[in-house]
Amino acid sequence: MNEKIESMMAEAPQFIATYGLKILMAIVVFIIGKWIARRIANFLSKGLTLKGVDPTIISFTGNLVYYALFTMVIIAALGQLGIQTASFVAIIGAAGLAVGFALQGSLANFAAGVLLILFRPFKVGDFVEAGGTAGVVYEISIFSTILKTGDNKRVIVANSTVMGGNITNYSTENERRVDLTVGVGYSANLDTVRKLLEEIASGDERIIDDRGYTIGVAELADSSVNFAFRVWVKTPDYWAVYFDLNENIKKRFDAAGIEIPFPQMDVHLTKE
């Protein structure tokens, strides 16, 4: 026993000289690498916070970056000890590839959610058309966007679907144009029609006078002369003005005896 101890004591300086520096370098790499990984993750989180990104996205992204870097630090520290890390890298790569394939749909939705929050094509409260659905944006989460439709239904749309198609935001601009097509019979006096439409436009205080309005013959259709009637309004007033204009046009035209054509069918009966 004493001989074994003496042998170990004799080999200790050589062991320390051989492996001591490697162990020390591995510890230094681990400590400094961990510190750098945490600093990078915190820096990224602060940058996303300044951009106004959702806190859930910030937390998830920060942790994801930190643990990815921390894994690299551990591999680097093991390499300092002389351990072959190629197999570890291959295993991690294969596992990451398998997870990526299994979660490719979720990862696509997550990436799209990050882009939605970063580029902000819309925000909560906007009325949009996206992903084949129209409604008010109720919530933007990591994987999906929730829209509330006009009849008070909640529609959950995958973020990848939202980003993969056209997005129409009706709430971004302060003003919108109301476009109407007004059809009158060929027997109608066009000057009278134009005058009535001008009176309707000038008589509505919600219509923006500075933007002007458009009244012109747009088409000589099969059974009607179609006027383009376009006015500008504040975005919140759009639908109210739209409905009121249609009603006022019908009432004013009826009072003036101007016919608004509608599809008709003449049926002739004959006796054989």
Q: Where are the domains of the chain?
A: 12-102, 121-169, 175-256
pLDDT at 20: 67
Global pTM?
A: 0.61
pLDDT at 227: 95
Helices 86-102 and 104-119, interaxial angle, to 10°?
80
Find tokens 């106004």 and name the residue.
52
> Residue ranges of the chain with pLDDT lower than 70?
1-20, 53-57, 59-60, 82-106, 263-269, 271-272
Structure confidence by residue, pLDDT tens digits, 116-150:
877 788 888 899 999 888 999 988 877 888 999 98
Determine the distance from the C-alpha atom of residue 64 to the mean position of all C-alpha atoms in its chain, rounded to a whole number: 22
pLDDT at 103: 46
Q: What is the distance between the alpha carbons of residues 203 and 207, in angstroms, rounded to a whole number?
A: 9
Token pair of 151, please? 């009849």
pLDDT at 24: 78
Query: Phi and psi dihedrals of 40, rounded to 5?
Result: -65, -45
Q: What is the distance between the alpha carbons of residues 252 and 258, in angstroms, rounded to a whole number?
A: 9
Considering the segment(s) 12-102 as one domain, its CATH architecture is: Orthogonal Bundle (1.10)
To 10 degrees, the CA torsion angle through 93, 99, 103, 106? -60
E strand or H helix at 175? strand 175-184
Q: Does domain 175-256 have CATH number 1.20.120.160?
A: no
Token pair of 178, please? 């109301």
* Beta-carbon count within 10 A of 65 CB: 17
Q: Does domain 121-169 have CATH number 2.102.10.10?
A: no
Q: What is the distance between the alpha carbons of residues 242 and 203, in angstroms, rounded to a whole number?
A: 14
DSSP designation for 103: T
Structure confidence by residue, pLDDT tens digits, 215-257:
999 999 888 999 999 999 999 999 999 999 999 999 999 999 9
